Amino acid sequence: MANEVFVIGDGIFEKPDVTEVASGTADAQALPAPTDLRLIGFSTKEDAVVAAAAEFILRDGTSVAGKPLEFVRLAADEAESRWFGPEGLPCAAGLFVDRTLGQTHVVVYTKVIE
């Protein structure tokens, strides 16, 4: 069976793995560290009961000590998605969501490069 594909702009790519990081204010481990893991995108929204700004850092690793990959700042009630291309950003040590302000709901799109 062929891999599923999806289209973005002029490109056709393999369908990524989708991991949901539940809504919250606490830091969260998104994924452990499989060999050759790549972050190819994410979607997020600020979703506190009383809307307020929110910030988090996507880190390569399993804690706040991991190397920062992406800094994200959202206004109250804002949602945002980012795409890093078919090769993505390497995160060989895993993927960690370091929530620094407010409440967010995050979905990460990853794949393993073979």
DSSP 22-68: EEESS-EEEE---TTEEEEEEEEEE--SS---EEEEEEESSSTTSEE
Whichever domain contains 24, its CATH number is 2.60.120
Residue 10 lies in a domain: no
Residue 76 lies in a domain: yes
* Domain extent at residue 83: 16-112
In a domain, 107, yes or no: yes
Report if residue 11 sits inside a domain.
Answer: no
Backbone angles phi, psi at 5, to 5 degrees: -130, 160
- What is the pTM (predicted TM-score) of this model? 0.84
Gap between the Cα atoms of 34 and 78, Å rounded: 31
106 inside domain:
yes
Model pLDDT for residues 36-51, shown as the tens digit of each residue:
899 999 999 999 999 9
| The total number of structural domains that make up the chain | 1
Q: Rounded CA gap, 104 and 58, in Å? A: 12
Evaluate if residue 1 carries a pLDDT over 50.
Answer: no
What's the mean pLDDT when you consider all of the chain? Answer: 86
In a domain, 2, yes or no: no
4 in any annotated domain:
no
AA letter at 75: A
Domain presence at residue 48 = yes
